[in-house]
Structure 1
C-alpha cells in the first residue's frame, strides 16, 4: 500500500473588509471532503499577523514533516482561483491586524529575493481547468506583498519550495465555499501527483 502523505492546508482569519475570510471557510469545507485515505490532512487557521506567522510556520513544518504545505488566502480582486508561483522577500510595509509590520520590511534577513515553488503551477492550472470542474483557475507571480505572500515566502523558505499558495475570491463572487473546496481538493491532489512523478523521475535519473 502507498505510504501515507501528510499535507497541511491553512486559511486566514478575518481582516480588513473580509469579516468572513473565504480562505478559512473553504479550508474547513475541504477538511470535510478530505484528500482520500492515503493523505493525512491537517488544517490550521493563520492569524493575519507577521509575528504570529513567524512563530506558527516553523512549528507546523517541524511537527508534521509534511510533503506539501498549501496556504489559502482571500483576494478581493480575484475572480478565479489563483495559483501563486513564487514569494518575494521584500516590500512588507502594510500594517497587520496588530497594527504592526516588520521594521526591515522583509521576511527573512539574508534570504533570496524570490523563491519559486517546486510545483509547476502552469501544469496544475491546465490540468484542473480541463477537468470540467466548473471552477476557473489562473496563475500569478505576485501574491500581493501582505500576509499572504509573507506566509508563502516563509513556507517556501522553510520547506525548500515544497509549498503552494492559492488565492480565492470572496464567497459568492462567484463561487460558494463548497465549490472552492472542490477546487482546492482537485488542485492539491494534482500537486501531490506531480510531485510524486517528479521524484520518480529524479530517482530514475540518479539510478542510471
Structure 2
C-alpha cells in the first residue's frame, strides 16, 4: 500500500514538473519576443495535459477537437506553409461522447505518412457527421502511394507491429473492445489514390443535457 501511494504521488508530480517547465520556457520566449515559440509551447502544454489525464476516459467530442486543434497548430508551425488542416464538423460536438484519443493518432499518422508523400502541398481534412444512430469520423490526406491493405492488416494485429503503427493499432483495439462489431475502422483510397481512414461507431449522446 505504501509503494502504491508513493507511485501515485510520483505520477502527480511528474506532469506538474513538465507543466511548470514548459511555462517557464514560454515566459522566457515572450521576454525575448519569440511569440510564435511561446504559442507553440502553450499548445504543447494543452496537448500534454490532455494526453496524461485519464487516457481511457470517455469525453465530449468538443474536448477531443480542442486537443486536435492544439496539436495541429504545433504541426503547422513546424511544417510552416507546407501543410494545411481543415475541419468539417457537422455534429453538436458538445453533446456527443467518444473514447478519448481515437482521432488525434489518425491525424498524426496522416502527417507522418500522408503529408510526407504530398510534398509542399500537403492537406489533411477531418470530417465528422452522423447518419442515423452512427457517428462517422474520416481523416483524409492528399498523400499517395500508401499501401492501405498493409495498414489494415497491421491495425487488426496481422503482421509485425512497428513503432509507426502502434497508434493506429491502439485506436483499432480500443474501438473493438468498446463497441465490438458495431465499431469499425478501415483505411481506403479515393478515386485520386489519396488516403483516408474511416471510423464508424454508435453515436453516444450525453444524457445529462
Larger fraction in helix = 2
TM over 0.5: no
Query: TM-score with structure 1 length normalisation?
Result: 0.27
